[in-house]
């Protein structure tokens, strides 16, 4: 029996594994980088071991240090979570060689399925090489043979773009996974991403746990997932289950894993097998009423599964909440998470708590929010409502995108596919916001600040405050009167520092307000309180390119120097932050008059990287 387990991961998945271990009576050991010294997963574990450094390559990707930590802390088992070393056969071997229990499939099974090209070979599916691709094959998809999460993935629609896409994908894959191997496969437009959760023990029992739909993806990263996949026939489900069992048997798989498919034209096309727990596993847990982490541990201890899996009940939907800025290319955001809370009745998996700092070194996912209900329609309504009412005080997030996606007719009707955001992203990120939010912020701030020094016969002069909301500046005016605060166009029913109530056309509307520094949160809107008088030194030259996020300059366009002529949209500088690369392009056609960025440089948000002066017409 496992007594002490080390979690070789961080953040949300580490906290989630630790939670199950507590329920099973298993002591836990966390590992943490210097950047994660005060992270939630390190605090909730029974003990923790420091991995000196901050970047993943020197901490969470150092299998030798993690095995050493497990032995030093007296652990007798290691759970890898997902990402990092979870699908690294050498790490699994090192754990086993150290006399520890590995919570996962055998190193040989991981090795066989870790490369998507080898996995396809095992399933009898051929991959394309660069030389194989012709115009007739287009579009094609370039993918990293190792890893996932959209890293090293490119869609190619023109043959002349293939070589550049392969080069770029190799570089990104090598950086993310330590393996630059990529391959090419046909790209099926408007298919659905459907997967099967499997669980296999050491006694020959294999469970296929329904289906999950993960079609809502942006930049090849999953955003919303659900179980079961809607609109999939029993016959097609049976076909996918049979292929999943075939994959399990091909490598003598043990433990939890996922077999992924692209469903198009009534057929399921095998994509890959993930030899680990998936980010979206909670929807399967909700529908089947099981704890997959607990089942992984039981399998590793040699226990047998029941002959048949539990019966599915209801529908579950998960939304991934990311710290990112929709107005600036969905750039990852950093900063303090002042408050995160969701209404009762939904599941929240997170690696953060109030006051935690969101840094630059790791993935920008803040949390997963999961709703379970008897029907899909009820689960959709429940999750959208919970997200809409959630308290999210901190960096900008994708919350509005999630709520609008869950309520979009194409999604609610189950007609979505992987091209959903390609068709609808602009409309779903419309920056329209509540025009009363700035006034509510101003009145909450003004609460208790009466301008009367004593009785006076004349009405007070209107007060003015300015706020930035969704990239626009708003100025609002209000008065202090004998009966309280007032403003034109509304009747102020109530106003204090936390709650403002307006009556508009006979309807009372409530605004919950919270302030942290110059950031003001009004219901789901985030505003920035602006100074009364603008700072004249804050003016920048036209064409200034600022860092949209903290990160590292990983590349400067080849041959780029001051005085060069650049074209509008031309990539000039590439930043890497939170495991993602972001291209900074020339805003106009003109001359590069200044270049401050240097390869390898660490930059902060708002730092001036370059200036492009537009060519006179």
Residues 419, 405: contact at Cβ < 8 Å? no
According to DSSP, the residues that pair with 182 across neighbouring strands are 144
Which residues, listed in sequence order, are joined to residue 175 by a DSSP beta bridge?
none
**Mode of pairing for the β-strands spanning 47-51 and 27-33:** parallel
H helices present in 229-315, as ranges: 234-250, 281-288, 292-300
Q: Is 276 tagged catalytic? A: yes
Please give the structure tokens belonging to residue 230.
């809607």
253 touches 87 (CB < 8 A): no
Q: How would you classify the pairing of strands 335-337 and 356-358?
A: antiparallel
**CA pair distance 259, 274, nearest whole angstrom:** 6
Pair 340, 394: CB distance under 8 Å: yes
Helices (H), 270-368: 281-288, 292-300
Contacting residues for 167 by C-beta, under 8 A, at least 6 apart? none
CA distance 3 to 28: 9
Cα angle value 238/239/242 (rounded, 5°):
85
Catalytic hit among 276, 320, 347, 515:
276
Long-range contacts of 94-97, Cβ-Cβ distance < 8 Å, separation of 24 or more? 94/63, 94/64, 94/67, 95/67, 95/70
**β partners of residue 215:** none
Residue 328 carries which DSSP code?
A: G
d(CA 5, CA 26): 7
List, as one string, the DSSP characters of 145-203.
SS--TTTT-EEE-SGGGHHHHHHHHHHHHHHHHS---EEEEE--TT-EEEEEEEEE-TT
Closest CA to 349 of 373, 326, 365, 328: 365
Contacts of 485 (CB under 8 A, 6+ apart): 443, 446, 447, 478, 479, 492, 495
Edge-to-edge strand ranges of the sheet holding 580-585: 580-585, 571-577, 551-556, 602-603
Q: Give the whole-angstrom CA distance, residue 438 versus residue 502.
A: 13
DSSP 34: G
Q: What distance in Å separates the CA atoms of residue 228 and residue 209, rounded to the nearest whole number?
A: 9
> 237-245: long-range contacts at Cβ-Cβ below 8 A with a sequence spacing of 24 or more?
237/210, 237/211, 239/268, 240/194, 240/196, 240/211, 240/268, 241/196, 241/208, 243/123, 243/268, 243/270, 244/196, 244/198, 244/208, 245/198, 245/206, 245/208
Question: Any idea which residues carry the catalytic annotation?
Answer: 276
């Amino acid at each position: 029996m496992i007594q002490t387990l080390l979690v070789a991961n961080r953040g949300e998945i580490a906290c989630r594994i630790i939670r199950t271990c507590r329920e099973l009576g298993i002591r836990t050991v966390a590992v943490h980088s210097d950047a994660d010294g005060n992270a939630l997963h390190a605090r909730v574990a029974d003990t923790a071991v420091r991995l000196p450094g901050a970047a993943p390559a020197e901490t969470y990707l150092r299998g030798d240090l993690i095995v050493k930590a497990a032995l030093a802390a007296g652990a007798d088992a290691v759970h890898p979570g997902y990402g990092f070393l979870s699908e690294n056969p050498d790490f699994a071997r090192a754990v086993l060689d150290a006399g520890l229990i590995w919570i996962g499939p055998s190193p040989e099974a991981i090795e066989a399925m870790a490369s998507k090209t080898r996995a396809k070979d095992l399933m009898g599916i051929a991959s394309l090489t660069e030389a194989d691709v012709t115009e007739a094959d287009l579009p094609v998809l370039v993918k990293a043979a190792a890893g996932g999460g959209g890293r090293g993935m490119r869609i190619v629609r023109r043959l002349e773009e293939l070589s550049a896409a392969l080069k770029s994908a190799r570089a990104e894959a090598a950086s993310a996974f330590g393996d630059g191997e990529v391959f090419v496969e046909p790209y099926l437009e408007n298919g659905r991403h459907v997967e099967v959760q499997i669980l296999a023990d050491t006694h020959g029992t294999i469970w296929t746990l329904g289906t999950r739909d993960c079609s809502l993806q942006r930049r090849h990263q999953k955003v919303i997932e659900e179980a079961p996949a809607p609109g999939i026939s029993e016959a097609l489900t049976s076909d996918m289950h049979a292929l999943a069992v075939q994959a399990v048997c091909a490598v003598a798989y043990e433990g939890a894993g996922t077999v992924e498919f692209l469903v198009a034209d009534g057929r399921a096309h095998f994509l890959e097998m993930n030899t680990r727990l998936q980010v979206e596993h909670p929807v399967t847990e909700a529908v089947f009423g099981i704890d997959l982490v607990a089942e992984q541990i039981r399998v590793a201890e040699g226990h047998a599964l029941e002959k048949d899996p539990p019966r599915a009940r209801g529908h579950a939907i998960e939304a991934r909440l990311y710290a990112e800025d929709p107005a600036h290319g969905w750039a990852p955001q950093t900063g303090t998470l002042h408050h995160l809370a969701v209404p009762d009745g939904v599941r929240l998996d997170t690696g953060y708590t109030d006051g935690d700092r969101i840094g630059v070194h790791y993935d920008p996912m803040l949390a997963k929010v999961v709703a379970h209900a008897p029907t899909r329609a009820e689960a959709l309504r429940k999750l959208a409502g919970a997200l809409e009412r959630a308290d999210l005080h901190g960096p900008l997030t994708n919350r509005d995108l999630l709520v609008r996606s869950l309520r979009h007719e194409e999604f609610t009707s189950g007609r979505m596919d992987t091209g959903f955001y390609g068709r609808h992203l602009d409309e779903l990120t419309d920056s329209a916001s509540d025009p009363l939010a700035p006034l509510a912020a101003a009145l909450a701030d003004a609460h208790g600040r009466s301008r009367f020094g004593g009785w006076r016969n004349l009405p007070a002069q209107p007060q003015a405050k300015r706020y930035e909301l969704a990239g626009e500046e708003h100025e609002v005016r209000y008065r202090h009167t004998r009966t309280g605060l007032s403003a034109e166009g509304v009747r102020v029913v109530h106003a204090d520092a936390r709650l403002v109530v307006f009556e508009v056309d006979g309807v009372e509307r409530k605004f919950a307000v919270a302030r942290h520094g110059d950031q003001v949160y009004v219901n789901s809107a985030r505003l920035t309180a602006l100074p009364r008088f603008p700072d004249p030194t804050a003016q920048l030259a036209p064409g200034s390119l600022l860092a949209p996020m903290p990160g590292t300059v990983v590349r400067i366009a080849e041959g780029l120097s001051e005085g060069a002529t650049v074209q509008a949209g031309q990539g000039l500088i590439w930043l890497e932050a939170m495991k993602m690369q972001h291209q900074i392009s020339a805003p106009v056609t003109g001359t590069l008059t200044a270049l401050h960025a240097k390869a390898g440089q660490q930059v902060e948000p708002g730092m001036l990287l370059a200036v492009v002066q537009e060519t006179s017409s």
